[in-house]
Structure 1
Amino acid sequence: MNNAQLNELKERYVAKGAASPATAFADRAENSLIWDADGKRFIDFAGGIGVLNIGHRHPKVVQAVKDQLDKVMHTCQTVMPYEGYVKVAEKLAQVVPVRGDAKVMLVNSGAEALENAVKIARAATGRNNVICFDGGYHGRTFMTMAMNGKVAPYASDFGTMPGCVFRAGYPVPEHGISEEESIRRLKMVLKTDANPRDTAAIVLEPVLGEGGFYAAPASFLRKIREICDEHGIMMIVDEVQSGFGRTGKLFAIEHSGVEPDLMTMAKSMAAGMPISAIVGTDKHMDASGANSLGGTYAGSPVSCAATLAVLEVFEEENILARSQALGDKLAARFAKWEQRFDAVVYPRNLGSMAAFELNNEQGEPAPELAGELCKRAREQGLILLSCGMFGNTIRFLMPVTIEDEILEEGMAIIENSLEAMVGSKASATA
């Protein structure tokens, strides 16, 4: 079927809230490229929203999935366990930097991982409150919608959210929240809303994802760890988008040296297969009773096979160094654009988790410019995403394995689009 035919089916049968606004349908993909149902080629700077750090259909992952399909597709691991689940648990326990000896639970999505992290924290502490941060994104289930630091579009239409969730300001100096102010607000929350003795966990992303790709300073993360230790609160780090090599480390928290009590991960964990994990200190992970955690598809044998292959690819292809090198290239190009275009502001990156913002002539966030840039890019065969509290951030999530010539082709599309939209400083003053 072609794009037009598929769009007709989408309009007729796919719920409006779940339907993509895009009119091109993916037909096949390879590393950093996608071809649609009409045969048009696209460069992928979105990576399925951070799922494809090692590219579309990495051969080693594809082969691992095929091999697993010839053996077992499903048993439900709580009914009859299998090797893949325990091997993934072993590998993650060895590499995830949580405190002490680690244990692991596998589920299906980032939101499901966060839901279970909260359940585990409540079981381990006997407390209810959860503190999160402005701009944070943790999922689309009810608990995670309550935890998100942004209302639209995730929670706008769904009524009352679960209680016992409180929020502090994330440190984003570019938007008026310094590290000191963020800590002050957190301590105020602990005084005015969330009594420390009733607070189970502080949950945060070490780099905001949907909130705009802002990295928390290492000193800030250390202060969060100190506050948690002072009050017996668990520190939960959400690495769903920042994990698995995006920042030049396997996990972003490693840049700070801080060890949380629990970590959640998903997205690039299995290069496109659905799986997520909660990894935590063994005494916390074992706090709830037998059969209290799990799910029918949790830790699918096929997804476990993909995860093990991904971890091998990281070792064999030096993915972390490639991520850092890609980040350096992006940072250098952003710096040139900041000099050339008045609209480009606040370029930033941690490894290849990179972004810049677009402002208007008054120096205010310009989500309309971000939307226009993404639209122009799509028309020229580049898939590009915006994000951020103000909708004006352009984020970069292309595969770390992207070929140099494809990267340059995509960056040229962005540069030419910016020139057409806002003009360079030189041309503006000529």
Structure 2
Amino acid sequence: MTLTTDPSTATALGPAPHLTTELPGPIARQIIARDEAVTSPSLTRVYPLVVRRAHGCVIEDVDANRFLDFNAGIAVTAAGHTHPAVNAAIHAQVDDLLHYCSSDFYLPVYADLCERLVALAPMPDARVFLSNSGTEAVEAALKLARHRTGRPNAIAFFGAFHGRSLGSLSLTASKARQRAGFGILTPGSFHAPFFDPYDDTALTGAGYIEQVLFKKLTDPSDVAAIFVEPIQGEGGYIVPPTGWLADLRRLCDEHGIVLVMDEVQSGVGRTGTMWASEHEGVQPDIMCIGKGLASGMPLAGIVARSEVMDWEPGGHGSTFGGNPVACAAAVATLDLVESELAANAKAVGEHLLTALGSLAETWPMIGQVRGRGLMIGIDLPDHDTAAAVELACYEHGLLVLTCGERSIRLAPPLVVSTEQADTAVEILDNVLGAMP
């Protein structure tokens, strides 16, 4: 489809890929050396990219090399990099007010955004709490579920990523190194298998919770919440089958458990609808949002049913959550997603899935191609192969990331064109053809 305002093609940066130096280039190498001398060793820089500027789906590094961005800063720049409408909203708000604490005072743009999110919520009669990051949103959801139910325990899924602070990390079960050395996390956290795309007969989800967890590890009367990603992100971009999420909804209803949908990565139009849960028509009690919400400004939050969000004044707050500049960017982003970007994600995503399906017929090393909208995973034989493809794509001017144990994820900005999608598939074709 042709977007009304299409920064992916109307860009001063020029087309991508366009590589003019070895990678990394000389200026990039200098900055990398400076960075590595002073920054935390916990940061995992997957390839030596040093970004100078970006527009639409094009990244330019400090040596003037241009890359096609198919990770969007980990699914963050929903409206594309430096979208003119988002930039205009940011600049207008900056001229009026940079910050005033929304936990203690009232801000027009905060109310504007919360009204908008309530109108777009997948559940009726909702309320909103805004924070800065996805992990804060998950922490808020965990606190709220415990407060609502008076129960201590929570259930999440193997492969899940819900954040890195202690409460959210207790729910995360993505990589052991994310937990290593941090001692006892939040007690009362249990995990069940997520849907297995290679074995649809395996006991997972609601069935495992009922038959194993509820019988052997935690009585349902002690469970405050079940946390689930409607499409598992860091676990491999896994799409559960129709009915899998509905079974979790049934289970929660039967036992008075709060169903929390973590849409931090899958929400805001990425899967072709505003929220990924809409594909199944399953309504959460609490929804966590973030990443693409403000197209690059730090903003996240929870949207919950009013009867669930019943904590008293002072029960939770955030100094910077709902910052007015971030809220202005979010309102502009939602305008774009509603008017055209969700539809573009659906159309280009379907185009990509078809093209990648053909690629899988050419290269048997591809185990599966799966996804919805612009949240697409490609399974490869093992982690080393996925990491090699990730690096080779960078060397060919395409920015992708791995996820799960052996997957490549494609999550470009929602302004991506079919032409750019075809370029990405062509690069992947060349890279896979060069794999040993």
Q: TM-score, normalised by structure 2?
A: 0.91
Structure 1: distance between partners of 2:189 and 2:338: 39
Counterpart in 1 of 2:58?
Answer: 33
- 1:171/1:284 CA distance change after superposition, 3 Å: same
Counterpart in 1 of 2:248?
Answer: 224
- 1:178/1:293 CA distance change after superposition, 3 Å: farther
Counterpart in 2 of 1:277?
Answer: 301
Counterpart in 2 of 1:130?
Answer: 154
Within 5 Å, give how 1:403-414 maps onto structure 2: 403-414=417-428
Alignment of 1:87 with 2:112, yes or no, is: yes
Counterpart in 2 of 1:234?
Answer: 258
User: Secondary structure of 1:2's match?
Assistant: helix
Within 5 Å, give how 1:4-403 maps onto structure 2: 4-18=29-43, 20-98=45-123, 100-174=124-198, 176=199, 178=201, 181-187=204-210, 188-286=212-310, 288-316=311-339, 318-359=340-381, 366-388=382-404, 390=405, 392-403=406-417
User: Secondary structure of 2:357's match?
Assistant: helix
Structure 2: distance between partners of 1:230 and 1:11: 52
Please tell me the residue identity of whatever aligns with 1:385: L
Structure 2: distance between partners of 1:162 and 1:177: 31
Structure 1: distance between partners of 2:108 and 2:140: 23
Are 2:231 and 2:237, in contact at CA under 8 Å, matched by a contact in 1? yes
User: Secondary structure of 2:67's match?
Assistant: strand
Q: Percent identity?
A: 34
- 1:232/1:19 CA distance change after superposition, 3 Å: closer
* C-alpha displacement of 1:109: 0.4
Structure 2: distance between partners of 1:197 and 1:328: 43
Structure 2: distance between partners of 1:57 and 1:171: 37
Consecutive unaligned residues of structure 2, counting only runs of 5 or more, are 1-25
Structure 1: distance between partners of 2:390 and 2:197: 26
- 1:134/1:19 CA distance change after superposition, 3 Å: closer
Q: How many residues align?
A: 410
Query: Is the deviation greater in 267-276 or in 217-226?
Result: 217-226
Counterpart in 1 of 2:7?
Answer: none
Structure 1: distance between partners of 2:115 and 2:228: 25
Please tell me the residue identity of whatever aligns with 1:367: H
Consecutive unaligned residues of structure 1, counting only runs of 5 or more, are 360-365, 423-430
Q: TM-score, normalised by structure 1?
A: 0.92
Please tell me the residue identity of whatever aligns with 1:403: S
Structure 2: distance between partners of 1:106 and 1:181: 32
- 1:218/1:61 CA distance change after superposition, 3 Å: same
Are 1:10 and 1:19, in contact at CA under 8 Å, matched by a contact in 2? no
* C-alpha displacement of 1:48: 0.4
Please provide the CA RMSD for this pair. Answer: 1.5
Structure 2: distance between partners of 1:131 and 1:243: 21
Structure 1: distance between partners of 2:392 and 2:188: 43
Are 1:248 and 1:324, in contact at CA under 8 Å, matched by a contact in 2? yes
Structure 2: distance between partners of 1:103 and 1:395: 32
Structure 1: distance between partners of 2:84 and 2:201: 44
User: Secondary structure of 2:60's match?
Assistant: strand
* C-alpha displacement of 1:403: 3.0
* C-alpha displacement of 1:162: 1.4
Structure 2: distance between partners of 1:225 and 1:181: 14
- 1:21/1:168 CA distance change after superposition, 3 Å: closer
- 1:178/1:303 CA distance change after superposition, 3 Å: farther
User: Secondary structure of 1:339's match?
Assistant: helix
* C-alpha displacement of 1:180: 5.0
* C-alpha displacement of 1:211: 0.3
